Structure 1
Amino acid sequence: MKFRDLRADEVECRVSTCKSTGCSLLLYKDARCDMNILDETVGIMGWKRHHELINGNLFCTVELYDSEKGEWISKQDVGTESYTEREKGQASDSFKRACFNLGIGRELYTAPFIWIPNGAVKMIKQGDRYTTYDKFKVSEMEVIGKKITSLTINGEKSNEIVFKWSEKQNDTSSQKITDVKQRALLDFCDENGLDINKILESYHLKEICDITERQHLAIIKYGNQYKDKWGVS
């Protein structure tokens, strides 16, 4: 049995990490999305679910009726608790994970790394950490062969595009970073005790404007792991 791909309006965005330079996002689906797809694909009488505790962990089993074999086919997975409602969070999470096992929304695992730079998102400093109250939505998403091939994300309030990516486009990883990203990168270096001159030297570059998108992504993602090499003396 093959389930259809998720539509853009069925995909949610969650802020994953926040820094002074911006934030990263993760894509996810909610339990209602899974229930709707199950209903439309096999009918409300064609599937069932139940939960059970195993070694203190809540598992969900989702079963689909195979009319050819005349039996129920099941997939099971465990959930993790939410920060607000433990039991409800575990039940919902285990159900969504079991549905991933069935193939519903599995394309979300192929999403690209999503980074929203400061300027496109409002960062708020709380003590030594950064956070944001901005929310985002997926406005466009193309899936081919259970793989996301293009993705556009907008700010929920502004409705402005804050992230746009396509596998079909010419490779933009060799393009130079924008002025906004240059300033954000300098802030990132100051915040994390990194020397931009050492970074430029390691990439054999003369100016920060020579940094490419691929190099910028690597610096943001792995900068703290190279403090022995890039750290301020």
Structure 2
Amino acid sequence: MADKEIRLLHADEIECRVAMVAETGVSLLLYKDARVDQRILDETFTTFGWKRSHQVIDGNLYCTVEVWDTEKSQWIGKQDVGKESYTEKEKGQASDSFKRACVNWGIGRELYSAPFIWVPVEKVNIQKIKEKYVTKDRFQVTDINYNDKREIIGLQIQNQRGEIIYSYYAGKRKEEGQSRSKQTKGNSTEIRTKLAEKAMQNRIDELQRELDRTGVSWQTVLRRYGLSDINQMTPEQYRDAMSGLKKSRSAA
């Protein structure tokens, strides 16, 4: 099994979903689905060279993905637990635990190196319905490049109309950002967009850290405020949620 190398994800195997919608733009996240995991496991270890199993431990659903080691003549397994997530709640813990276990084998681990993806309002159709900002635009990854460390160094995303709405190239991003900063100096709209981008990233990261620390799920937080999506959370609800989480004990 030593010579088995998990290949990197192709552009058409990566899902691009909306994480948050604001007045100034949207943030996107990159995902893989269980079908991609199964395909790569089949390619790497053959159809009969791997297997999966599930078990409940302390009320949580775990998945173990095992592959056959021909050198040792035994099954080698890696395990992970499924978590409820506002982006994955319809698929359940079984699918989530399977995908997490596959990441432990290296499938899709490169997505952790993805940059923060922000699409400004000029490149996306955003509507305000009552007090919530929404978008019906759909996005897909059209090109992705990696370095020798299996990290993302190039990324291109387009919308449903075939328009390129996001491009990232490591090594050029900083220089281009500085150039844009000079060109838009004094432009209040651009400044607000940049501030909103940073604020949303910090908010998601901070809340996720507290959820991981306490073991509380996204679904629990959403139910508490009668929400179906994290995009509906108001600043007041966010502050209240953070206050409650910080008072909670860390998960064992």
Q: Could you state the TM-score of these two structures normalised by the residue count of structure 1?
A: 0.76
Flag structure 2 segments of 5+ consecutive residues without an equivalent.
203-252
The superposition leaves residues 118-159 of structure 1 with CA deviations (integer Å, 9 ceiling, x where unpaired) of 12111121222212111100000001221001000000x211
Give the alignment partner of residue 162 of structure 1, picking from 153, 162, 165. Answer: 165
Once the two structures are TM-superposed, the CA of residue 217 in structure 1 deviates from its matched residue by: 3.8
Over 3 Å counting, the alpha-carbon distance change for 1:147 and 1:139 in structure 2 is same
Preserved CA contact (<8 Å) 2:65 2:98: yes
CA distance in 2, matches of 1:133, 1:83: 18
**Larger-gyration structure (1/2):** 1
Give the alignment partner of residue 96 of structure 1, picking from 91, 95, 99. Answer: 99
CA distance in 2, matches of 1:79, 1:54: 11
Over 3 Å counting, the alpha-carbon distance change for 1:121 and 1:85 in structure 2 is closer
CA distance in 2, matches of 1:16, 1:85: 11
1:54 aligns with 2:31: no
What amino acid is aligned across from residue 178 of structure 2 in structure 1? S
CA distance in 2, matches of 1:148, 1:132: 27
Over 3 Å counting, the alpha-carbon distance change for 1:101 and 1:176 in structure 2 is same
What secondary structure, in the 3-state scheme, does the structure 2 residue paired with 1:142 have?
Answer: strand
CA distance in 2, matches of 1:84, 1:114: 16
CA distance in 1, matches of 2:60, 2:20: 27
2:70 aligned partner = 67
CA distance in 2, matches of 1:67, 1:217: 53
1:39 aligned partner = 42
Give the alignment partner of residue 81 of structure 1, picking from 56, 80, 84. Answer: 84
2:156 aligned partner = 152
Preserved CA contact (<8 Å) 1:51 1:91: yes
Preserved CA contact (<8 Å) 1:20 1:184: no
Over 3 Å counting, the alpha-carbon distance change for 1:87 and 1:124 in structure 2 is closer
CA distance in 1, matches of 2:195, 2:131: 23
Q: Whose helix proportion is higher, 1 or 2?
A: 2
Identity over aligned pairs, percent: 48
1:113 aligns with 2:90: no
CA distance in 1, matches of 2:170, 2:141: 16
Once the two structures are TM-superposed, the CA of residue 222 in structure 1 deviates from its matched residue by: 3.2
1:198 aligned partner = none
What secondary structure, in the 3-state scheme, does the structure 2 residue paired with 1:96 have?
Answer: helix
CA distance in 1, matches of 2:75, 2:16: 33
* Alignment size in residue pairs: 195
CA distance in 2, matches of 1:4, 1:224: 29
1:221 aligns with 2:198: yes
